[in-house]
Structure 1
């Protein structure tokens, strides 16, 4: 049974929300793609919603399982993570967990993450997570094509461009003001590496809170863009000739009793000098052990692999994390230990990630690394793009999947995935992603028409 508040506690929350001007409660969970779904009830019905009054046909949703004749699933809002919509304060957004017959419904990825977090708690660990949010702010033309809204945002290397930043100040200011008003502590934001692209970095938190915030941030970015007659997209690779949208996962474990960072140590106490404890290296080893399978949830779309381009496919070095390897501040690794240590960063996560699903699977992989006392080996400090295939093989550095099809095959072949997700969620993910690949593979693109229609 998913726990909820007592009636007295719910009444107090209800009164507080009414005092803040809230009229409606939006209980929201995500489908397998991380897309929010839910129902809205008037504030006076919060008690009913909190006890699972809102029912859903799982068969009508992507990745929630069920057949047309199955009983409905319910959703129970998490009343500890309420967010009042900054742009529509009459509505309180509440992340929700699904239940079936009063028990947690584990095809819900937020429920899954809470389950894996409980396993970490049993080992004495909590998980902190920070997600770097990259997003394009674009205009949509009448023909449906996407374009950069600022005509002056044309630099070939637009990263950190202050002029382009100022041209989009209205939207950026709405985003940062709202995040700070919500207590997220934005500590940095900028015009990113591509024209029309921005990044927002806000303070890390426990994994569940960060996943909730990232889900809400995507909805908020789109709403504020709409107010500017623009489109905000977290699509991994909107343009073939521009940088993609990452959503790098920055992770550490903390001690449940003291709250101390269990990955942090002085660089002189670390044989590799990165400022990472043995526990941290074990965690990384678990990630690398299951790197190809994890790629399917970190980079879960056909479009994701237009971002993860290997050397040789482009005329210049990209920062694409295509190698199943780790190192220090070396961005040619898929896992790195940023300067100062104390955390590890998985760089192949992109803007299409379902944060709950990815966080659950990567945490389980890291915990396995700890349980099995795995060693990730020596950090890779070279530019891995410059190594020959023979040199990479000698170092034991493998490539991550190159397409969604390869990633799903790796996901399906790794027994660890079923152990963590259960057979139903595992099979749902495979089914949807294989269908996505097949649909893409049989579609005729504009590139093909342009190239072949007059050639043959």
Structure 2
């Protein structure tokens, strides 16, 4: 049996269950959190005593599927069973004695079509049949805040008040207890953190860890969210992945860096002979074309909340929002929805509220459509779109992304390819859930309306 001596778990091919049991015993793990996500991407769990690991792998932990948002199940339906995948086993360093594990959601002995992790696994299988894998690096931005004595949400560090706090060193040093705790927790379980910075808004940060195969990257993001929230909570703070905290702050994006690789890990998006100097292959151009062709529908999946569209605004020339609202691409152009950091692509429209499994599955589907139809993307642009008028943008044939959740949902519903690629039932459930969110939003009365109209008429 493989001797396990590190806190990072590497699942062996030989006798994985016995090796996992030894690993858990070595690290004195008492409970496993069997985890999956609902349609929103919100983590759901059951606590399972460690001695039941074999049953968790072979039979699974049972859940009432009708209680899970977006799963489209009724009280009389069979249980949703989460069958653990031992390769996902991960210690929870901030909570000694606990580890988490993910896997395949099963209903009536079939992988459940409404489980978005299963959906991403199915899309990666499409790639595997061509000998490809999608590598992704996800860049989550988040707010570290607290509530003051009056209940208002304010930065966790009360001295974080600079008008332009981007890359401010004090933002790092005065939040070191949280940032170091988070970084060390991720590094302990094998995530390679390579940079942390204070972002454009007070209390806003970004932490980056190394790219991986896209299903593992999505798993890592869910682990990151859990770790960040729990470590902040223990310090009296709140970590929020809300896309837009206020009208005057920058939003929380989650950019997706992506490249296709073959069995030898060769980057199929890279071509050093690219005359544009961007280092892109024909395959990369076709993938980009598919993403842009389906951009309005993708917006509904990568920008999934009412609040998301408060982020997708152009800002001002003095303080751009940095959020891409234009269906365009270009070399290192951060005002476009697809940026090219040489030899790979960065899809910039997504925000930190997105379900990473659903979003990544949708990007694969759109990119493969571009490849299968041999689409050509529109011409790339290196211009600052924020500084251009509507007339100038129209002359270049550049359109805007949807301006609110309803517009994005309408685009998703009209895009029949996405329903066929991701599943009619799953897309129907997603649209129903999100249209309900839109209706609830419009039934609410905001502080802005009270302030503007209380004595207006």
Relative to the length of structure 2, the TM-score reads 0.95
Q: Aligned equivalents of 1:423 and 1:183: distance in 2? A: 37
291-300 or 16-25, which deviates more: 16-25
Matched, 1:130 2:137: yes
- Distance (Å, rounded) in 1 between the aligned partners of 2:315 and 2:245: 20
2:93 maps to which residue? Answer: 86
Tell me which residue corresponds to 1:325: 328
Say which of 229, 245, 254 aligns to 2:252: 245
1:264 maps to what in 2?
270
Alpha-carbon displacement from aligned partner over 1:295-337 (angstroms, at most 9, x marks no partner):
011100000000001357x985321200011111111101110
Match of 2:118 in 1: 111
Q: Structure 1: how far apart are the matches of 2:364 and 2:149? A: 44
Distance 1:273 1:13, change over 3 A: same
Q: Contact 1:272/1:379 (CA < 8 Å) preserved in 2?
A: no
Give 1:51 shift.
1.6
Alpha carbons of structure 1 residues 328 and 419: separation in structure 2 relative to 1, 3 Å: same
Inter-partner Cα distance in structure 1 for 2:32 and 2:315: 49
Does structure 2 retain, via aligned residues, the 8 Å contact 1:7–1:47?
A: no
Give the structure 1 partner of residue 49 of structure 2.
42
Rounded to whole Å, the distance in 1 between the matches of 2:298 and 2:417 is: 10
Contact persistence 1:250–1:344 (CA under 8 A): yes
Question: 2:63 is matched with which residue: 34, 39, 56?
Answer: 56
Kept in 2, the 8 Å contact 1:56–1:73? The answer is yes
CA distance in 2, matches of 1:449, 1:396: 40
Larger CA deviation: 350-359 vs 440-449: 440-449
Partner of 2:286: 282
Aligned residues of 2:312 and 2:323 also touching (Cα < 8 A): yes
TM-score (norm 1): 0.95
- The secondary structure found in structure 2 opposite 1:248 is strand
Contact 2:71 2:114 in 1 (8 A): yes
**Deviations 1:339-378, CA, capped at 9 Å, x for gaps:** xx12111111101010000000101111111111111132
1: distance between equivalents of 2:158 and 2:13?
A: 55
CA distance in 2 between counterparts of 1:212 and 1:381 reads: 34
Quote how far apart the aligned CAs of 1:142 are.
4.6
Matching of residues 232-381 of structure 1 within 5 Å = 232-256=239-263, 258-266=264-272, 269-310=273-314, 316-338=319-341, 341-381=342-382
The 3-state SS of whatever aligns with 1:253 is: strand
What's the RMSD between the two structures over aligned residues?
1.7
Alpha-carbon distance in 2 for matches of 1:49, 1:152: 47
1:169 aligns to what?
176
Counterparts of 1:69 and 1:102 in 2: how far apart (Å)? 16
Any gaps of 5 or more consecutive residues in structure 1?
none
| CA drift at 1:388 | 2.7
Moved more, 72-81 or 47-56: 47-56
Q: How far apart are 1:5 and its partner, in Å?
A: 10
| Aligned-pair CA distance for 1:97 | 2.0
Contact 1:29 1:36 in 2 (8 A): yes
**Quick one: structure 1 residues 315 and 78, their matched pair in 2 at CA, closer, same or farther if it must change by over 3 Å?**
same
